[in-house]
Amino acid sequence: MNLLHICASTKPIDISSSKQLAAAFFARLAESNKDINVTNMDLYNNPPPFLTNDAYRYFWNPILQPGYIPTTAEKSAASYALSQTKVFEETDVLILTMPLWNCGMPAIMKAWLDQVLVPGVVFKYEAGSIIPLHHITKVILLASSGDIVKENDPQDQLTPHLTAIFNSISITDFSIAWADGQDPRHLDAEERKATAIEAAQELADDVSEMA
């Protein structure tokens, strides 16, 4: 089984709650001794470019304009998204690690999603419908927030956004471990993190059972 882990926290692990959830998740997974391969991408080490109009044209013009031939600039602008195609093709479970920033995902994660969620990379577009090219069956969100945020509170625009994105490419199994209340003004921040770590470990057990 192949896992793709995309991480979008700026902080080193000793002070990043979301990275600590990820560490607990992958440590528990390793204990299962199952045949699981993990591809790790830390977006801050290898930042995706913002999608440009040239890249947009490269991916969408074949649908919008029959006979379209991309320019050299358009091909070049598509190279980042195309470089993600193979890993997507091989992925069974996608793990997203990130903090809550301004009620949603960090811009660098959105930049990555804008790059990869294009025709020819994770889906094809046929007769007005999106047909998945991936075979991802599960997405896991390992998140952290400063405030005490309940899922689907108005302050949580992250889970509705991700759910809508993944539903649109036929992924409906979306699980979450969330360390909320991580701002030091919350005196129970460590307990909240410990509870989220347990949730992340249970998600790892679920993934082990799939392998």
Structure tokens given for 199: 């949730």
Q: Which is nearer to ligand FMN, 58 or 178 (CB)?
A: 178
Task: Report in angstroms the alpha-carbon separations of 184 from 128, 177, 189, 190, 191.
Answer: 49, 20, 7, 9, 12
Structure tokens given for 15: 């002070």
Q: Which is nearer to ligand FMN, 108 or 149 (CB)?
A: 149
Q: What minimum distance in Å lies between the beta carbon of 60 and ligand FMN?
A: 31
48 lies in the site for ligand FMN, by CB under 6 A? no
Binding mask 159-198 for ligand FMN (x = CB under 6 A): -----------------------x----------------
Q: Which is nearer to ligand FMN, 114 or 147 (CB)?
A: 147
For strand 174-179 and strand 129-132, is the pairing parallel, antiparallel, or unpaired? Answer: unpaired
Burial of 55 (0-12, 13-18, 19+ CB in 10 A): buried
Any idea what DSSP says for residue 51?
P
Provide the β-strand partners of residue 140: 95, 175
Burial of 121 (0-12, 13-18, 19+ CB in 10 A): buried
Q: What minimum distance in Å lies between the beta carbon of 177 and ligand FMN?
A: 12
Structure tokens given for 94: 């996608």
Q: What minimum distance in Å lies between the beta carbon of 100 and ligand FMN?
A: 4
Q: Which is nearer to ligand FMN, 118 or 141 (CB)?
A: 141
Q: Of 17-25, 30-38, 42-50, 56-64, which part binds ligand FMN (CB under 6 A)? A: 17-25
Give the strand order in the sheet containing 174-179: 37-42, 2-7, 93-99, 138-144, 174-179
Per CB under 6 A, contacts with ligand FMN among 108-167 are 144-147, 149, 155
Q: Which is nearer to ligand FMN, 5 or 19 (CB)?
A: 19
83 lies in the site for ligand FMN, by CB under 6 A? no
How far apart CA 57 and CA 134 sit, in angstroms, is 22
Residues that bind ligand FMN (CB under 6 A): 9, 11, 16-19, 99-103, 144-147, 149, 155, 182
